Amino acid sequence: MASVSAEEIQKVAKESIESSIASMTTLTKGIQAITVEVADYSRKSFEDGSAAIEKLLGVKSLDKVIEVQTDYLKSSYQGYVAELTKVGELYAGVARDAYKPYEGLFAKVTK
C-alpha cells in the first residue's frame, strides 16, 4: 500500500473544492436560465390565452367559436410540447455541464 503525503491530500482537497465551486456556479447559472425560460413561456401562454378569449367574445357563430377554440388548443399544445423539449434540453445541459468539473477528479480516483 502506497503512502500518501500531506501535500497530495491538500492538492486533492483543493481540486475537489474548486470542482465543487465550478459545478455549483454552472448549476446556478443553468437554473437561472431555466427559470427565465419558464417565466417567459408562462407570460406568453397567458397572453395567448387572453387573446383567444378576446377572439371568442367577438365571434357570432358556433362554427367560428369551434374554429377559434381549435386553433387555440392546437397552438397551445404545440407550444407546450416545444417548451417541454426546450426545458428538458436545458436540464440535460445543466447536468452535463455541472458534472464536467468532476471528470478530472473521478479519472484520478479510478486509476
**Angstrom distance (rounded) from CA 63 to CA 69:** 10
Does pTM surpass 0.85? no
- Rounded CA-CA distance 20/14 in Å is 10
Q: Which mean pLDDT values do the consecutive 10-residue runs of the chain (111 residues) have?
A: 76 88 94 97 97 94 95 96 97 92 72 59
Instruction: Supply 73's cell numbers.
Output: 388548443
